[in-house]
Amino acid sequence: MTAHPYLQLIDIDQYFGQFQALKKVSLSINEGEFVCFLGPSGCGKTTLLRVIAGLDSLCSGQILQAGRDITYAPVNKRDFGIVFQSYALFPNLSVADNIGYGLKSRRVSRQNKTARIRELLSVVGLERSEQKYPSQLSGGQQQRVALARALATSPGLLLLDEPLSALDARVRAHLRHEIKQLQEKLGVTTIMVTHDQEEALTMADRIVVMNHGLIEQIGTPEEIYCQPQSAFVADFVGEMNFLDGFLCNDSQVQSQSIRLDVSQTGSFSIDSPLRVAVRPEDIRLRLNGDRHNVLNGTVLDLEFLGSKARSRVAVKGHDQILIADISMNELTELELRNGQNVDIQLPRDRLQLFGKAAS
Protein backbone atom coordinates (compact mmCIF):
# COMPACT_ATOMS: atom_id res chain seq x y z
CA MET A 1 0.00 0.00 0.00
CA THR A 2 1.43 3.39 -0.93
CA ALA A 3 1.32 6.06 1.74
CA HIS A 4 -0.30 9.36 0.89
CA PRO A 5 0.69 12.48 2.80
CA TYR A 6 -2.55 13.62 4.41
CA LEU A 7 -1.27 16.44 6.55
CA GLN A 8 1.77 18.53 5.70
CA LEU A 9 3.34 21.07 8.01
CA ILE A 10 5.91 23.26 6.33
CA ASP A 11 8.34 25.50 8.24
CA ILE A 12 6.00 26.28 11.11
CA ASP A 13 7.16 29.13 13.37
CA GLN A 14 5.07 30.17 16.32
CA TYR A 15 5.76 33.03 18.73
CA PHE A 16 4.19 34.15 21.98
CA GLY A 17 5.46 37.73 22.18
CA GLN A 18 9.24 37.45 21.92
CA PHE A 19 9.25 33.78 22.85
CA GLN A 20 9.57 31.33 19.96
CA ALA A 21 7.54 28.23 20.84
CA LEU A 22 7.96 26.42 17.48
CA LYS A 23 11.04 26.65 15.31
CA LYS A 24 10.79 25.73 11.63
CA VAL A 25 8.75 22.62 12.29
CA SER A 26 8.21 20.52 9.15
CA LEU A 27 6.36 17.23 9.15
CA SER A 28 4.36 15.05 6.82
CA ILE A 29 1.71 12.67 8.15
CA ASN A 30 0.24 9.88 6.06
CA GLU A 31 -3.40 9.03 5.66
CA GLY A 32 -4.54 6.68 8.40
CA GLU A 33 -1.36 7.10 10.43
CA PHE A 34 -1.26 7.33 14.23
CA VAL A 35 1.40 9.87 15.14
CA CYS A 36 2.45 10.86 18.66
CA PHE A 37 4.06 14.17 19.57
CA LEU A 38 6.35 13.24 22.45
CA GLY A 39 8.49 15.55 24.52
CA PRO A 40 8.98 17.17 27.91
CA SER A 41 6.63 19.76 29.37
CA GLY A 42 6.83 23.08 27.56
CA CYS A 43 8.48 21.73 24.39
CA GLY A 44 5.63 22.93 22.14
CA LYS A 45 3.42 19.87 21.65
CA THR A 46 0.11 21.55 22.46
CA THR A 47 1.16 24.67 20.56
CA LEU A 48 1.69 22.56 17.44
CA LEU A 49 -1.63 20.75 17.87
CA ARG A 50 -3.51 24.05 18.34
CA VAL A 51 -1.91 25.46 15.22
CA ILE A 52 -3.05 22.40 13.23
CA ALA A 53 -6.58 22.85 14.60
CA GLY A 54 -6.52 26.58 13.85
CA LEU A 55 -7.20 27.40 17.52
CA ASP A 56 -4.24 29.80 17.41
CA SER A 57 -3.35 31.73 14.30
CA LEU A 58 -0.04 30.83 12.79
CA CYS A 59 2.93 33.25 12.72
CA SER A 60 4.59 31.73 9.67
CA GLY A 61 4.62 28.52 7.69
CA GLN A 62 2.06 26.51 5.78
CA ILE A 63 -0.39 23.72 6.57
CA LEU A 64 -1.93 21.43 3.96
CA GLN A 65 -4.66 18.92 4.76
CA ALA A 66 -5.77 16.48 2.07
CA GLY A 67 -4.05 18.70 -0.47
CA ARG A 68 -5.95 21.80 0.66
CA ASP A 69 -4.13 24.84 2.07
CA ILE A 70 -5.72 25.39 5.49
CA THR A 71 -3.05 27.74 6.87
CA TYR A 72 -5.55 30.56 7.29
CA ALA A 73 -8.79 28.58 7.35
CA PRO A 74 -11.03 29.38 10.35
CA VAL A 75 -11.61 26.60 12.89
CA ASN A 76 -15.14 25.82 11.69
CA LYS A 77 -13.90 25.29 8.14
CA ARG A 78 -11.38 22.65 9.17
CA ASP A 79 -11.97 18.93 9.20
CA PHE A 80 -10.93 17.61 12.62
CA GLY A 81 -12.22 16.33 15.94
CA ILE A 82 -10.36 17.10 19.15
CA VAL A 83 -10.12 15.67 22.65
CA PHE A 84 -8.40 17.57 25.45
CA GLN A 85 -6.77 16.35 28.66
CA SER A 86 -9.53 17.70 30.87
CA TYR A 87 -12.69 16.17 29.52
CA ALA A 88 -14.16 19.54 28.55
CA LEU A 89 -17.70 18.18 28.29
CA PHE A 90 -20.62 20.59 28.67
CA PRO A 91 -21.72 19.83 32.26
CA ASN A 92 -25.30 21.02 31.68
CA LEU A 93 -25.84 18.79 28.63
CA SER A 94 -26.64 15.10 28.65
CA VAL A 95 -24.23 12.60 27.12
CA ALA A 96 -26.40 12.46 23.98
CA ASP A 97 -26.44 16.25 23.63
CA ASN A 98 -22.69 16.46 24.22
CA ILE A 99 -22.03 13.95 21.46
CA GLY A 100 -24.64 15.48 19.15
CA TYR A 101 -23.28 18.99 19.63
CA GLY A 102 -21.07 18.91 16.57
CA LEU A 103 -23.91 17.57 14.42
CA LYS A 104 -26.13 20.57 15.19
CA SER A 105 -24.76 22.79 12.47
CA ARG A 106 -24.77 19.97 9.94
CA ARG A 107 -28.48 19.72 9.21
CA VAL A 108 -28.75 16.12 10.33
CA SER A 109 -32.33 14.88 10.81
CA ARG A 110 -33.36 14.11 14.39
CA GLN A 111 -33.74 10.44 13.52
CA ASN A 112 -30.31 10.20 11.94
CA LYS A 113 -28.79 12.10 14.82
CA THR A 114 -30.25 9.71 17.40
CA ALA A 115 -28.99 6.75 15.40
CA ARG A 116 -25.54 8.29 15.05
CA ILE A 117 -25.30 9.00 18.78
CA ARG A 118 -26.28 5.39 19.56
CA GLU A 119 -23.69 4.13 17.11
CA LEU A 120 -20.95 6.31 18.63
CA LEU A 121 -21.87 5.26 22.15
CA SER A 122 -21.56 1.66 21.16
CA VAL A 123 -18.22 2.37 19.45
CA VAL A 124 -16.82 3.76 22.72
CA GLY A 125 -18.50 1.09 24.85
CA LEU A 126 -21.05 3.31 26.60
CA GLU A 127 -24.37 1.92 25.40
CA ARG A 128 -27.49 3.20 27.19
CA SER A 129 -25.78 6.24 28.72
CA GLU A 130 -27.53 8.83 26.53
CA GLN A 131 -29.50 10.45 29.32
CA LYS A 132 -26.71 10.63 31.88
CA TYR A 133 -24.88 13.84 32.70
CA PRO A 134 -21.08 14.19 32.78
CA SER A 135 -21.03 14.45 36.59
CA GLN A 136 -22.59 10.96 36.77
CA LEU A 137 -19.69 9.43 34.84
CA SER A 138 -16.16 8.39 35.87
CA GLY A 139 -13.14 10.12 34.35
CA GLY A 140 -12.58 7.26 31.91
CA GLN A 141 -16.25 7.30 30.85
CA GLN A 142 -16.19 11.08 30.37
CA GLN A 143 -13.15 10.73 28.15
CA ARG A 144 -15.00 8.11 26.08
CA VAL A 145 -17.83 10.60 25.62
CA ALA A 146 -15.30 13.26 24.59
CA LEU A 147 -13.89 10.79 22.07
CA ALA A 148 -17.37 10.01 20.71
CA ARG A 149 -18.07 13.74 20.42
CA ALA A 150 -14.80 14.27 18.51
CA LEU A 151 -15.70 11.45 16.11
CA ALA A 152 -19.35 12.45 15.61
CA THR A 153 -18.84 14.24 12.31
CA SER A 154 -16.49 11.50 11.00
CA PRO A 155 -13.58 13.95 10.74
CA GLY A 156 -10.56 13.27 8.54
CA LEU A 157 -8.23 14.11 11.41
CA LEU A 158 -8.45 13.22 15.08
CA LEU A 159 -6.42 15.38 17.47
CA LEU A 160 -5.82 14.15 21.02
CA ASP A 161 -4.03 16.32 23.57
CA GLU A 162 -2.92 14.13 26.49
CA PRO A 163 -6.34 12.44 26.53
CA LEU A 164 -5.31 9.85 29.10
CA SER A 165 -3.10 11.74 31.52
CA ALA A 166 -5.88 12.71 33.94
CA LEU A 167 -6.91 9.07 34.40
CA ASP A 168 -5.58 6.53 36.86
CA ALA A 169 -3.03 4.01 35.64
CA ARG A 170 -5.38 1.07 35.08
CA VAL A 171 -8.05 3.03 33.23
CA ARG A 172 -5.29 4.69 31.22
CA ALA A 173 -3.77 1.39 30.10
CA HIS A 174 -7.21 0.08 29.17
CA LEU A 175 -8.28 3.17 27.20
CA ARG A 176 -4.89 3.29 25.50
CA HIS A 177 -5.59 -0.10 24.02
CA GLU A 178 -9.16 0.82 23.09
CA ILE A 179 -8.23 4.08 21.38
CA LYS A 180 -5.57 2.30 19.35
CA GLN A 181 -8.04 -0.38 18.26
CA LEU A 182 -10.71 2.18 17.44
CA GLN A 183 -8.26 4.23 15.41
CA GLU A 184 -7.22 1.17 13.43
CA LYS A 185 -10.82 0.21 12.83
CA LEU A 186 -11.87 3.67 11.66
CA GLY A 187 -8.60 4.36 9.87
CA VAL A 188 -8.78 8.00 10.92
CA THR A 189 -5.50 9.93 10.72
CA THR A 190 -4.65 10.67 14.34
CA ILE A 191 -2.22 12.89 16.21
CA MET A 192 -1.85 12.34 19.93
CA VAL A 193 0.17 14.59 22.20
CA THR A 194 1.81 12.91 25.15
CA HIS A 195 4.78 13.26 27.45
CA ASP A 196 4.49 9.58 28.36
CA GLN A 197 7.06 7.59 26.39
CA GLU A 198 5.36 4.28 27.07
CA GLU A 199 2.11 5.62 25.65
CA ALA A 200 3.92 6.81 22.53
CA LEU A 201 5.91 3.60 22.08
CA THR A 202 2.87 1.37 22.41
CA MET A 203 0.34 3.40 20.40
CA ALA A 204 2.12 5.29 17.63
CA ASP A 205 2.96 4.26 14.09
CA ARG A 206 5.47 7.09 14.18
CA ILE A 207 6.74 9.26 17.01
CA VAL A 208 7.76 12.89 16.66
CA VAL A 209 10.17 13.69 19.51
CA MET A 210 10.19 17.39 20.31
CA ASN A 211 12.41 19.56 22.50
CA HIS A 212 12.47 23.34 22.89
CA GLY A 213 10.16 23.92 19.92
CA LEU A 214 12.26 21.76 17.59
CA ILE A 215 11.73 18.28 16.17
CA GLU A 216 14.61 16.15 17.46
CA GLN A 217 13.67 12.99 15.58
CA ILE A 218 10.81 11.43 13.63
CA GLY A 219 10.64 7.65 13.43
CA THR A 220 8.84 4.43 14.23
CA PRO A 221 8.86 3.46 17.92
CA GLU A 222 11.62 0.96 17.14
CA GLU A 223 13.78 3.52 15.35
CA ILE A 224 13.34 6.04 18.15
CA TYR A 225 14.25 3.46 20.79
CA CYS A 226 17.01 1.57 18.98
CA GLN A 227 18.58 4.30 16.88
CA PRO A 228 18.20 7.57 18.77
CA GLN A 229 19.82 10.35 16.79
CA SER A 230 20.68 12.58 19.71
CA ALA A 231 21.59 12.22 23.37
CA PHE A 232 18.31 13.97 24.15
CA VAL A 233 16.22 11.30 22.41
CA ALA A 234 18.36 8.51 23.88
CA ASP A 235 17.86 9.91 27.34
CA PHE A 236 14.18 10.83 26.99
CA VAL A 237 12.96 7.55 25.53
CA GLY A 238 13.74 4.53 27.69
CA GLU A 239 16.54 4.13 30.20
CA MET A 240 20.11 4.95 29.21
CA ASN A 241 23.53 4.98 30.84
CA PHE A 242 25.93 7.71 29.81
CA LEU A 243 29.70 7.65 30.24
CA ASP A 244 31.53 10.91 29.56
CA GLY A 245 34.87 10.49 27.87
CA PHE A 246 36.90 11.28 24.80
CA LEU A 247 38.17 9.48 21.74
CA CYS A 248 41.77 8.39 22.49
CA ASN A 249 42.49 6.65 19.18
CA ASP A 250 40.48 5.61 16.13
CA SER A 251 38.66 2.77 17.92
CA GLN A 252 38.70 3.47 21.65
CA VAL A 253 37.10 5.82 24.10
CA GLN A 254 38.68 6.73 27.41
CA SER A 255 36.16 7.31 30.18
CA GLN A 256 37.85 8.07 33.50
CA SER A 257 40.06 5.04 34.11
CA ILE A 258 38.28 2.68 31.74
CA ARG A 259 38.96 2.25 28.08
CA LEU A 260 36.16 1.02 25.81
CA ASP A 261 36.42 -0.40 22.33
CA VAL A 262 33.87 1.19 20.02
CA SER A 263 32.85 0.07 16.57
CA GLN A 264 32.07 3.44 15.05
CA THR A 265 33.61 6.77 15.82
CA GLY A 266 31.32 8.78 13.56
CA SER A 267 32.46 12.33 13.04
CA PHE A 268 34.45 12.49 16.27
CA SER A 269 38.15 13.26 16.09
CA ILE A 270 40.90 12.25 18.54
CA ASP A 271 40.59 14.02 21.91
CA SER A 272 37.08 15.30 21.15
CA PRO A 273 34.85 14.97 24.21
CA LEU A 274 31.86 12.63 23.85
CA ARG A 275 29.35 10.55 25.80
CA VAL A 276 29.11 6.80 25.43
CA ALA A 277 25.51 5.61 25.86
CA VAL A 278 24.40 2.07 26.63
CA ARG A 279 20.97 0.66 27.44
CA PRO A 280 20.69 -1.24 30.70
CA GLU A 281 19.45 -4.35 28.93
CA ASP A 282 22.53 -4.37 26.70
CA ILE A 283 24.86 -4.66 29.64
CA ARG A 284 25.51 -8.35 30.44
CA LEU A 285 26.17 -9.89 33.69
CA ARG A 286 28.78 -12.64 33.47
CA LEU A 287 29.52 -15.42 35.84
CA ASN A 288 33.07 -16.11 34.82
CA GLY A 289 35.92 -13.95 36.04
CA ASP A 290 35.31 -13.09 39.67
CA ARG A 291 34.22 -16.33 41.39
CA HIS A 292 33.37 -14.83 44.75
CA ASN A 293 29.99 -15.61 46.26
CA VAL A 294 28.88 -18.07 43.61
CA LEU A 295 26.03 -20.27 44.80
CA ASN A 296 24.36 -23.18 43.12
CA GLY A 297 20.63 -23.15 42.57
CA THR A 298 17.57 -24.03 40.48
CA VAL A 299 15.31 -21.71 38.50
CA LEU A 300 11.78 -22.05 39.86
CA ASP A 301 10.05 -19.70 37.45
CA LEU A 302 10.60 -16.81 35.05
CA GLU A 303 8.34 -13.82 34.66
CA PHE A 304 8.54 -11.69 31.52
CA LEU A 305 8.64 -7.97 32.36
CA GLY A 306 9.26 -6.40 28.96
CA SER A 307 12.93 -5.58 28.60
CA LYS A 308 13.89 -7.99 31.38
CA ALA A 309 12.79 -11.15 33.13
CA ARG A 310 12.35 -11.79 36.82
CA SER A 311 13.36 -15.21 38.08
CA ARG A 312 12.79 -16.95 41.39
CA VAL A 313 15.69 -19.17 42.25
CA ALA A 314 15.98 -21.88 44.93
CA VAL A 315 19.44 -21.98 46.51
CA LYS A 316 21.07 -25.35 47.20
CA GLY A 317 21.66 -25.85 50.92
CA HIS A 318 19.47 -22.89 51.86
CA ASP A 319 15.76 -22.43 52.28
CA GLN A 320 15.61 -18.81 51.11
CA ILE A 321 14.30 -18.29 47.58
CA LEU A 322 16.13 -15.51 45.77
CA ILE A 323 14.64 -13.13 43.18
CA ALA A 324 16.97 -12.13 40.37
CA ASP A 325 16.36 -9.83 37.37
CA ILE A 326 18.11 -10.65 34.14
CA SER A 327 18.07 -9.06 30.71
CA MET A 328 16.34 -10.75 27.78
CA ASN A 329 19.76 -10.95 26.10
CA GLU A 330 21.10 -13.00 28.99
CA LEU A 331 17.99 -15.10 29.15
CA THR A 332 18.48 -16.08 25.52
CA GLU A 333 22.20 -16.62 25.88
CA LEU A 334 21.98 -18.73 29.01
CA GLU A 335 18.88 -20.54 27.64
CA LEU A 336 17.32 -20.31 31.06
CA ARG A 337 14.24 -22.44 31.70
CA ASN A 338 12.24 -23.48 34.68
CA GLY A 339 13.92 -26.29 36.59
CA GLN A 340 17.38 -25.49 35.27
CA ASN A 341 20.48 -25.48 37.43
CA VAL A 342 22.33 -22.17 37.52
CA ASP A 343 25.23 -20.46 39.17
CA ILE A 344 24.14 -17.44 41.14
CA GLN A 345 26.66 -14.75 41.90
CA LEU A 346 26.07 -12.30 44.74
CA PRO A 347 28.61 -9.56 44.15
CA ARG A 348 30.55 -8.75 47.30
CA ASP A 349 30.21 -5.02 46.96
CA ARG A 350 26.41 -5.24 46.66
CA LEU A 351 25.90 -6.92 50.01
CA GLN A 352 24.93 -4.75 52.92
CA LEU A 353 25.04 -5.79 56.63
CA PHE A 354 22.39 -4.87 59.18
CA GLY A 355 22.02 -5.72 62.86
CA LYS A 356 19.53 -8.51 63.62
CA ALA A 357 16.42 -7.14 65.36
CA ALA A 358 15.45 -8.92 68.62
CA SER A 359 12.36 -11.10 68.04
Ligand X SMILES: Nc1ncnc2c1ncn2[C@@H]1O[C@H](COP(=O)(O)OP(=O)(O)OP(=O)(O)O)[C@@H](O)[C@H]1O
At its nearest, how many Å lie between Mg ion and the CB of residue 175?
A: 18
Could you tell me whether strands 252-255 and 258-261 are parallel, antiparallel, or unpaired per DSSP bridges? Answer: antiparallel
88 burial level (CB within 10 Å; 0-12, 13-18, 19+): middle
Among 39-47, 65-73, 140-148, 297-305, the segment contacting Mg ion (CB under 5 A): 39-47
> Which residues touch 65 (CB under 8 Å, ≥6 apart)?
6, 7, 8, 78, 79, 156, 157
Q: Residues near 217 by Cβ (< 8 Å), separated by ≥ 6?
A: 207, 208, 209, 223, 224, 228, 229, 230, 233
Least distance CB 9 / ligand X (angstroms)? 14
Q: Residue 224 CB, nearest distance to ligand X (Å)? A: 17
Reported as type and span, the H/E element at residue 101 is none
Q: Which of 213, 212, 158, 163 is nearest to 190 (CA)?
A: 158
Nearer to ligand X, 16 or 72 (CB): 16
15 binds, among Mg ion, ligand X, none (CB under 5 to 8 A by kind): none
Q: Does 142 bind Mg ion (CB under 5 A)?
A: no
Q: Cβ distance 95 to 158 under 8 Å? A: no
Q: What string marks each residue from 45 to 74 as x (binds ligand X by CB under 6 A) or -?
A: xxx---------------------------
Minimum CB distance to ligand X, residue 317 (Å): 54
Of 113 and 212, CB closest to ligand X: 212
Q: Find the shortest distance in angstroms from Cβ 56 to ligand X.
A: 7
Q: Which does 41 bind (CB under 5 to 8 A by kind): ligand X, Mg ion, none?
A: ligand X
Q: Is residue 41 part of the contact set for ligand X (CB under 6 A)?
A: yes
Least distance from C-beta 200 to ligand X, angstroms? 12
46 lies in the binding site for Mg ion (CB under 5 A): yes
CA separation for the pair 238, 234 (Å, rounded): 7
CB-CB contact of 343 with 322 (8 Å) = no
Among positions 9, 44, 54, 228, the unique one binding ligand X when judged by CB under 6 A = 44
Q: In what order do the strands lie in the sheet with 273-278?
A: 258-261, 252-255, 241-249, 273-278
Q: Catalog residues that contact Mg ion under the rule CB under 5 A.
A: 46
Instruction: Please report, as ranges, the residues that interact with ligand X according to CB under 6 A.
Output: 16, 19, 21, 39, 41-47, 195
